[in-house]
């Protein structure tokens, strides 16, 4: 019998480049629940205790921040992303070409 394990993206988020790519894809969905799930995945990859130390936020606060129903404050998101080794960047929205 073949054994398989559940896929966990956290297992592959080892570098800031990988984390940035993963979070960029999540942010492009404009889905707040999915974005919170992505932040949670990266936090698990980095270690929630390490994120708490780096941000000055409690573990409990971070767990609440990453719930799918959460609406985290901008400063919290900025601190958390900084602890991941990435930053928020603005890009122009590509104009749709008219056919």
Neighbours of 71 (CB within 10 A): 8
Cα gap 22→38, rounded to integer Å: 8
Single out the residue of 11, 85, 86, 69 nearest to residue 35, CA to CA: 69
pLDDT tens, residue order, the chain (99 aa): 888 889 999 999 999 999 999 999 999 999 999 999 999 999 999 999 999 999 999 999 999 988 888 899 999 999 999 999 999 988 888 776 665
Query: Residues 6 or more apart from 9 whose CB is under 8 A from it?
Result: 22, 41, 45
Q: Where are the domains of the chain?
A: 11-83
pTM of the predicted model, to two decimals? 0.84
């Amino acid at each position: 019998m073949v054994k398989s394990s559940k896929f966990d993206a956290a297992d592959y988020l080892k570098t800031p480049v990988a984390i940035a790519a993963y979070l960029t894809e999540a942010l492009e969905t404009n889905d707040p629940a999915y974005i919170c799930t992505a932040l949670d995945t990266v936090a698990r990859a980095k270690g929630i205790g390490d994120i708490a130390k780096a941000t000055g936020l409690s573990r409990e606060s971070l767990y609440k921040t990453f719930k799918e129903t959460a609406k985290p404050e901008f400063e919290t998101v900025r601190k958390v992303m900084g602890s991941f080794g990435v930053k928020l960047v603005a890009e122009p929205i590509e104009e749709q070409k008219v056919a």
